[in-house]
Amino acid sequence: MALALQTFATVKDANAALKAAGTRYLGGGTLVIRAANEGDVSVSGLIRSTDPALSAIAVAGGKARIGASVTMAAIARHSELGPLAKAARAVGGPAVRNMATVGGNLFAPSPYGDFAVALLALDATVGTDDGELPIEGFLAGRANSRVIVTSVSFALPSADSFRFLKVSRIKPKGVSVLSIAGVVERTGDGTVSSARIALGCMADRPMRARAAEKALLGRSLTKDGIAPALAAASEGISPITDPIASAWYRAEVLPVHLGRLLLG
């Protein structure tokens, strides 16, 4: 089945065209083109925008704004986005990273969307033509969203506070068994003053490990210090089962890999 492709100079015009039945937005194409190739007959038309702001990266005053069309490869090689390079490189192989975009990653269903896990840990805001909203709220409503994402914005983490880990069966580009991202801030004596931990594959979308975050406060990042957080890590999770791993297996290995992330 042939797909009609419409290109618009502005996001506003692309949003208007996206209201038509059967249309999907085309960013890097790693999700929508695969769906069409696999026989998804609900897709009859593709919408894209060439708005330059979608491909821009701006870093200033300790904050970053990344356009929704920026690719994983562009993030991985950007000199001022070093902490995020590992998360960007966790997305597929080189060919996929040259196409996969920030915006598309926000919509990627589990077990995909590793970069969205990192953005959740960073407490990013998601920009659209209608304004900005917290990433957690965006992810909760993404299944019914028909609005084009224009950017993500977040405060750059300090040098040693951001951590990211992807677990897969096939290295280096396998699909995730799980992914974990964390922003852990410590006081001068080494105890945890704040923590945000995000999990991938532990629900139908990236989710916060709130119980583990709370259990880390005031603790040191030692084997004994993180033990309460590991014990609480499974609270509220609902892991997926797919050909890569069962829900049981994902739940069993989560504390092991969270421990490695925190101690690493």
> Which strands sit side by side in the sheet containing 131-134, from one edge to the other?
57-60, 63-67, 149-155, 125-128, 131-134
To the nearest whole number, what is the mean pLDDT of the chain? 93
Give the mean pLDDT of 21-44.
82
Tally of residues, the chain: 264
Q: What percent of the chain has pLDDT over 90?
A: 78
Question: What single letter denotes the amino acid at residue 76?
Answer: A
* 216 neighbors 230 (Cβ within 8 angstroms): no
User: At 134, is the secondary structure helix, strand, or coil?
Assistant: strand
Nearest to residue 27, comparing CAs of 152, 140, 123?
152
Residue 71, pLDDT above cutoff 60: yes
pLDDT digit string, tens, across residues 193-216: 999 999 999 999 999 999 999 999
* Surface-to-core class of residue 179, CB atoms within 10 Å of its CB (0-12 exposed, 13-18 middle, 19+ buried): buried
Closest-CA residue to 112 (of 175, 158, 52, 65)? 175
- Its pTM stands at 0.94
